[in-house]
Every structure is written in C-alpha cells, then in structure tokens.
Structure 1
Amino acid sequence: MSLKTAPVNVEKGNLKPKFKPQTIAWVVIFISFAIFCLLVYLVANLVSDYLSRSSQNRSAIVTVTRGPVYIARTGQGSLLVANPLDTLQPGDSILTDNQSQAVLELFDGTKLDIYSSSKVRLSESRIVTTNFVRREKQLVVEVSLNSSEDDRAGVGKVSVQFDNKDDQEYIGKPLEINCTDGASLIFEGSEDKDSYSIDLIHSTDGSSRTLINSTVTNTGNLQISAAGKTQTLAPGKRVFVDSGQPPVESNGLQDELIRNNRAFINGLDGWEVQQKDSGNLDNIFCSLFIDSEKVDDGTIYRAHTYRGQNTKDSHECSVIQELNTDVSRYQSLVLNFKLKIQTQSLSGGGEQGIEFPLFVRISYVDTQGNPYNEYFAGFYITPFDPKDNTRVAKYIVSEQVKQGEWIEFSSEDLMQRRNKPQKILSITVGSAGHDYEAYFTDLSLVGKG
C-alpha cells in the first residue's frame, strides 16, 4: 500500500523582514548623531561655565585711628604692628588693645569701626564672576573680644556703617557677621548709610553676651540667628544674645547698678570711705557716718558728713563704690538720689570751683575707649561771690538748693552725652570745702534697655 501527500503551496512574500535594513541603519545613525550633539552641548556648557566663572579675592583697607593696632596674617605665628594705612587679606585678623582703635573698609565700601579690646577676622572677601558678566560678592566677617589668656573678661565693640559706593555692580549674599557666642548676623536689606553696633561683653564668671543695636534712622532689617532661632532687628531696636541662647529683644531691660543703694540700710557695706586733704599737716578730717532722721512718712537712714572747726584748708570726705560695669546694652542711664545741705562756709563751688558741700562724681570709659571721663554734679546753699574769688566750674553740673530741705535730684540721661559711657568705673558721693554739713540717701543708677 502506498501513501500520497498533497503538495503545499508557499507564497513568496511571507518570509520578507518587516523593516528594510536601510531604514534601521538611518535610525541608528540619527540616534547616534543626537547623542553626539547632546554630548557636545553638555561639554561646551561645562567648558563655558568653567571659563566664564572666576573667583577673585579682595583685600580690605585698615586705617589706624589710635594705636597700636595688630594684624595676624594667615600662616604667621606672631602678630604684626599695623601701619597707619594697611591691608587685610582673606583669613587675616585685626586686633585692638584696651586703648587702640581702627577702621576696616571692605571692598564694597562697608566700614567697620573697631573699638578697643576687639578682634575682627576677614573670613571671606571675594568676587565671583559667572557668565562673564554676573558679579557676586561674598563677604563674611568674624568678630570677638580680644582678651588675654589670664583675663577673658572685658568689653569689645564693632560698629557697621554701610556706604555701598558701587553696590550696583554686585549681586549675591549680603554681608554676614559671625560672633563667638554663636550669633550669626545677616544684613539683608540694609541700605546705604544704615548703621549698627555690636557690643561684645564677657564677664568674670565666664558668661558672655552680644548686644546688637540698630540705629533708629535705618531703613533695612537685620536677621540675627542663634541656637536655632531667628530674630528680626527693626530700626531703633536692640537684641541681645547670651552664649548658647536664642536672640531676645532687649526692650524693657532695667538694672540697678549701685549695691546697697537704698537708704544705707546695711550701713556702708559696698562703699569705701575716703579722705582727701590739701596736704597741710594741720588739716582736720571730717566725719562721715550713717544715722537716721524722722520725716513725715517715717524714719530714713542717711549718710552724714560734717566738718566744722572754722577750718581754713580744703578737705574732701566721701564714699566711693567701684562698679566696673559695662553699660553699652542700655539706651538710657540716669542717676537719682536725695540730698540735704545744712551748712557751708565757702560760697558757690569754692575757690577751685568744685568745693561743694555735697557732690556726686561718676567716672567712666566712653565709647571711644577714653577712661578719663567724669559726670560731676555739685550742690550749694551759698551763692558764689566774686569778692571771695569763688566760682562754679563751667564744665560741671551745679545747683543751688534751699538750706535744711530735702530735695530729690535726677541727672541728665548719661547715654545722651556727646561722650557717652561704655563702662562705668565708679561712683563717688560726699562733701568738699572748708566747713560743711550735709546728708544724702537713696542713691540709684538705673540702666534701661
């Protein structure tokens, strides 16, 4: 038996490929060319950015206004004495001692007045150019107290004055100032002529405080950051930053600076009695002691000075309290106390012009670092008489009061003086002249922020 199979018809077109080889080749060429163009574009951009971006360090100008001022150069171990006109490079520092002062002018025109016992480091100072024309300024400064290893307590100060003479040429981040207590100051929005002050206060107990003040005429705001918090400092306001703490606005700050000030309840604790005579061996000392007096509203304790033996030589009898207190954190500082004068043998302020039966003297260091400043107020009951060659000195405050009557005296705001105080050294209250008898009590020196 045999088998027969039917023939199978195969159409010729069924085995042809779906895409022609030429089409596939053109697609591969097109994709490769696109990738090549993309790579060329990216490389060109990278090269252009590299060539168009440049960074140029800029120096700052140092002007010594009171010397000596020192410069710490990067990589040099010893300090150099700054020339009257010098330069500071990025990484360098400028240091002032307790008597010196300098001005640091940054390349954009901003000026930093560096007062005594301060240190400023120029961390960053450069211009970054991108796209051949875009100019970004980068300015970072560090400020700190210039203290010794043996004594880290003290007060430093730096003020900032914006005078951006060519500010239109630059864009980018605003000036940044970093403080040693962790506070970071960003002067964003500060405009030409805006000014700020930075007080660096370190106490003997190791604590520190930075006080930042914005002038009332400022137009921009200052951002102060510390301990993860940010505080905006508006014009005319003050903010303080304690080490490791967030910034706090200091409005409402009020401190009494005198110890044992109210009515001498604790006697003369905190005060030291001093006697200053004219040098005559026969000079008669005066008496100074605490006693009491009955008044309408009760009994008051008072300091009592007395000298009355028809003496012919001048003698000062007083109490002094050393304060050594920084007052730069306060916006006002006013002295108040009560006084009464019973007798006075000289007229006015005596022959010297400062021989008052009752006076108060406040010694202080001003904001320029000058330690020889005084606020002096004298009181008298007998008007000055040219015939006796007596007078009242013109450079002091003087006031005639009624004999045997208690009066309350309030001083001017010491923070409004032309040479306003930065640090109060001491306060002295007492009597001077030939014969006198006077009383004083309730002394108060209050600083308000």
Structure 2
Amino acid sequence: MSGRHNPERLAWIVLSSAFAVFCSMAVLIPLSIYGYMISATQPLPAELTSVRGIVLMGDANAGLSTSVTDGSTVTFSENYAAATDETSQAIITFADDSSLTLYGSTHISLQESEQPRFGISSNPSRVTVRLEQGRIRATAARSKTDLLFEIVTPHAVVTLDQGSYSIETDGENTQVTTRLGQADISSPQGEMSLSQGQRIVLNADTPLGRPLPAAQNLLSDSTFTPESLNNSWESYAIVPIESVTTTASVVLFQDQPVLNLRSQGEDNVHSEVGVVQMVNKDVRDFQSLRVFAEVRLVEQSLPGGGQLGSEFPVMLHVAYKDAAGNDRDWFHGFYFKPAPDNYILYDQPDNSSERIARGRWYPYESVNLLTTLGPAKPVFVKSIRIYASGWIYDSMLANISLLAEE
C-alpha cells in the first residue's frame, strides 16, 4: 500500500527524515563552528623601532615610502618590508615578545604574522620573514608547538625553535648561527638541524656539510698568496728617502706562503710598509672578538717600539667604530730587541706590545676585544692592518684571523 493511502507511514517517513536532518545539523553545525574556531586567525601585532639612523619601510609590493627616524616606533604589519643602510639599525618586536633585529645594510619583508583568533585553538602562531640581504638576529620567544617562526633566504628556509639566532645572506651565501636553541634547515641540497653553538654556510652550488663551530672568521682572506696582494689585501708603503727600500711580498718559507715585510738600505731612517684588508662587519651582536696570527721576527735595528712606542717590526691594527660612532683603533706590536729605559712601551687595552723570541714562529691570540675595551669596544670593524715600521726590519706573518663568536 502506497504512502498516499497510508498517511501514518508517510508521517513517520517525514518525521524520520526531519529527525535525521536535525541530528546531522546538530553534529555538523557545532563541528563547523569548532573547525572555524580552530582554524581562524588574526594578525599577530608587531612594531618596528629605529634603534639608530633612518629606516625605510612600506608595502612590500608598492615600495619603501616611509622613513622611520631614530628612536621612533611604528606599526609593522604583514606584507610590509623594511630596509636599513650602513648607518642604521632597527628592531621588530612581536606581541609575544619575539623579535627581529636588523643590522646595517639589511632588507627584509614580513610575509606572515598571524595567531589563532580563539583561545581553544592549539595551532601555533606563525611568523614568516624573508631576508633578502644583510644580517638579522631572530629571537623566538616560544617553542615550535606554539610559534612557527621561519626565516626564508635565497638558499634555505630556516625554522626556529625557542632561542636566539643569527642569519646573514649576501646573495651568494647564507650563514645561520645558533646562539641558543635549535634551527632546522631545509634547502634544495637537503635538510639538517643546528644545535646551540653551531653554524652552517649555505649556497646554491655546494652540498650541505657538517655544522661548524659558532666562531667565524670575519676576514675574507686569512692566508697569503701572490694573488692576495692588491686584491683582498691592499699594500702600501711610506718611504721618505730613496736610500731606503721597503717591500711587502708573499714568499715561500718552509713550504708555506707567508707575508714578508722588509726594509733595506740606510739605517736610522724611519719607514713603514704594510697591507690592509677592509672588513666592514657589524660585531655588536657577538660575545667574543679575537685576533689570531703567527708572527716571526728576523731583523730589527730600532729597539723596542721606538722612542714613542709606535714603531715595531710587526704591528697589528684594527680600525673600528664604537657604540657612539667614534672612530677608534686597537694596536698590538711585536719586537725582540729590548728597549732602553727611556723608550715607551704601552700596556693599555687598546695599545700594547710584547717581546718574542727572534727567528721563531710565535702563535698569537689576543684577548677578547669586546670585554677588555669596555665602553670603547667595537661595534663595527672597518679594517685590519698588518704593518712594520722603524729603521731596518725583516718580519713574517701567516694565518691571520679575526674570529668572532656568537
């Protein structure tokens, strides 16, 4: 018998269908609401502060049209970009106390900055920063379960756990250093993790290697070859008269290429010869900065460091700027011929010397310049110079490094 002739059966069918729809809606609507509450996001607020100089910012697609002056703070939103020049520095602070410090000549864009809209969501907040060039210090205030903090560089995606990290790229290479925490690296060459106190250098052509110690050499060329001179190392000489000849050359000594600084000719005449390498590195975020070198003194006619304590057969010179922007210098000299009592030999944090054995290689390691120089410590290293000065001298130097440690 059809439902047309059985109203009772038809009623039960309608009632059952309505109940099924009701039950479905009773389940699906809360699930949909719950799903929305779990997945819904809202912006994670951020602010940009110019710590020093003028910082440019603006929409990443429209250009950097806003200037943020020294000490000013502005809102920094998703899809914004910021850039510093060699004289400026900025910090981006997120609402969860995570932060991003931009050092000189750095360009970044904030691709993502969001957090769950509702407290019941277990999804992490997300911060994604693209580092186009320069050096940043990223501090993740929470673990990866609560904050997915990613730095995208031309060579890799770096995912940060709770901790502090340095990331630097110049277009050809990307360097990642962990001061505290763990960084996961994903690149076309493979994947790896960096633990505290480790770093890695990435580029497009080299397979992933093993993590390196956090200490890094700020010099582009630490050894000496004939090609080094007047390339990475620029030579110079100060010779007042023609009867004195100075040379800065690379010679082979004991099967090792070394830098040889010599003065020949008339004695008791001042001359100077040396080499300079430009460094141009911001070091304010490092904990240690030391100079390493191997020194060998062959000849020295002027005792000590001369009457004024400024003329040595080998002198190391680091030119830098302090936090106030002042140009400063650090010197350390080497000699083997004792100085008379009336000659000056400085023993100061920024100017010192030491007597070493003649004709023997001496491995030198400086003190930590970032602690011994106090308020006058370096924040930006301009250059390093190796030179000899005095009367007649003959000196050698090999394997110089300017090691900075996170």
Q: TM-score, normalised by structure 1?
A: 0.69
* Correspondence 1:335 to 2:293: yes
Distance 1:102 1:349, change over 3 A: farther
For residues 290-349 of structure 1, the C-alpha deviation after alignment (integer angstroms, 9 at most, x for no partner) is: 8999x999xx995421464545xxx4411214455879999986221311233116x545
* Matched residue, 1:358: 314
For residues 234-270 of structure 1, the C-alpha deviation after alignment (integer angstroms, 9 at most, x for no partner) is: 1111122213666433438999824645xx7x99776
Tell me by how many angstroms 1:365 deviates.
7.7
* Matched residue, 2:353: 398
How far apart, in 1, do the equivalents of 2:321 and 2:203 lie? 23
Of 131, 136, 155, the residue aligned with 1:158 is 136
Aligned to 2:361, the other structure's residue is in SS state strand
Which one-letter code corresponds to 1:186 in the other structure? T
* Matched residue, 1:138: 126
For residues 48-94 of structure 1, the C-alpha deviation after alignment (integer angstroms, 9 at most, x for no partner) is: 65588753223312222221221123565443211322221111112
Aligned to 1:350, the other structure's residue is in SS state coil
| Contact 1:341–1:358 under 8 Å retained in 2 | no
Unmatched runs of 5 consecutive residues or more in structure 2: 372-376
* Correspondence 1:129 to 2:117: yes
* Correspondence 1:274 to 2:231: no
| Contact 1:57–1:127 under 8 Å retained in 2 | yes
Aligned to 1:29, the other structure's residue is in SS state helix
Of 421, 427, 442, the residue aligned with 2:385 is 427
Q: How does 1:27-426 map to 2 (within 5 A)?
A: 27-41=12-26, 42-43=28-29, 45-46=31-32, 54-73=40-59, 76-83=62-69, 84=71, 85-130=73-118, 136-145=124-133, 156-163=134-141, 172-179=146-153, 181-188=154-161, 190=162, 194-202=163-171, 208-215=172-179, 218=180, 220-227=181-188, 229-243=190-204, 247-251=208-212, 257-258=221-222, 260-261=224-225, 274-276=236-238, 286-289=244-247, 302-306=260-264, 308-311=266-269, 315-322=270-277, 324=279, 334-344=292-302, 348-351=305-308, 353-363=309-319, 372=327, 374-380=329-335, 381-383=337-339, 385=341, 387=342, 390-392=344-346, 394=348, 395-401=350-356, 405-412=358-365, 417-418=370-371, 425-426=383-384
Which one-letter code corresponds to 2:194 in the other structure? L
How far apart, in 1, do the equivalents of 2:131 and 2:394 lie? 47
State percent identity of aligned pairs. Answer: 17
Larger Rg: 1
Distance 1:290 1:50, change over 3 A: closer
| Contact 2:38–2:122 under 8 Å retained in 1 | no
| Contact 1:415–1:421 under 8 Å retained in 2 | no
Which one-letter code corresponds to 2:351 in the other structure? I
Aligned to 2:129, the other structure's residue is in SS state strand
How far apart, in 2, do the equivalents of 1:331 and 1:392 lie? 21
Tell me by how many angstroms 1:44 deviates.
5.3
How far apart, in 2, do the equivalents of 1:322 and 1:376 lie? 15
Which one-letter code corresponds to 2:9 in the other structure? I
For residues 369-396 of structure 1, the C-alpha deviation after alignment (integer angstroms, 9 at most, x for no partner) is: 97956553212323353x46x3426222
Which one-letter code corresponds to 1:195 in the other structure? S
Aligned to 2:312, the other structure's residue is in SS state coil
Tell me by how many angstroms 1:144 deviates.
2.0
Aligned to 1:36, the other structure's residue is in SS state helix
Which one-letter code corresponds to 2:175 in the other structure? L
Aligned length: 382
Which one-letter code corresponds to 1:123 in the other structure? Q
Unmatched runs of 5 consecutive residues or more in structure 1: 1-15, 146-155, 203-207
How far apart, in 2, do the equivalents of 1:129 and 1:184 lie? 26
Aligned to 1:174, the other structure's residue is in SS state strand
How far apart, in 2, do the equivalents of 1:137 and 1:360 lie? 49
Tell me by how many angstroms 1:185 deviates.
1.2
| Contact 2:223–2:398 under 8 Å retained in 1 | no
How far apart, in 2, do the equivalents of 1:132 and 1:289 lie? 74
Tell me by how many angstroms 1:28 deviates.
0.9
How far apart, in 2, do the equivalents of 1:249 and 1:327 lie? 26
Distance 1:38 1:182, change over 3 A: farther
Which one-letter code corresponds to 2:334 in the other structure? F
Aligned to 2:20, the other structure's residue is in SS state helix
How far apart, in 2, do the equivalents of 1:228 and 1:437 lie? 54
Which one-letter code corresponds to 2:359 in the other structure? W
CA RMSD after TM alignment: 4.5
Tell me by how many angstroms 1:98 deviates.
1.1
| Contact 1:286–1:317 under 8 Å retained in 2 | no
Comparing 405-414 with 330-339, which one deviates more in the overlay? 330-339
Aligned to 2:127, the other structure's residue is in SS state strand
Tell me by how many angstroms 1:108 deviates.
0.9
Which one-letter code corresponds to 1:209 in the other structure? N
* Matched residue, 1:9: none
* Matched residue, 1:3: none
Q: TM-score, normalised by structure 2?
A: 0.75
How far apart, in 1, do the equivalents of 2:37 and 2:397 lie? 74
| Contact 1:201–1:326 under 8 Å retained in 2 | no
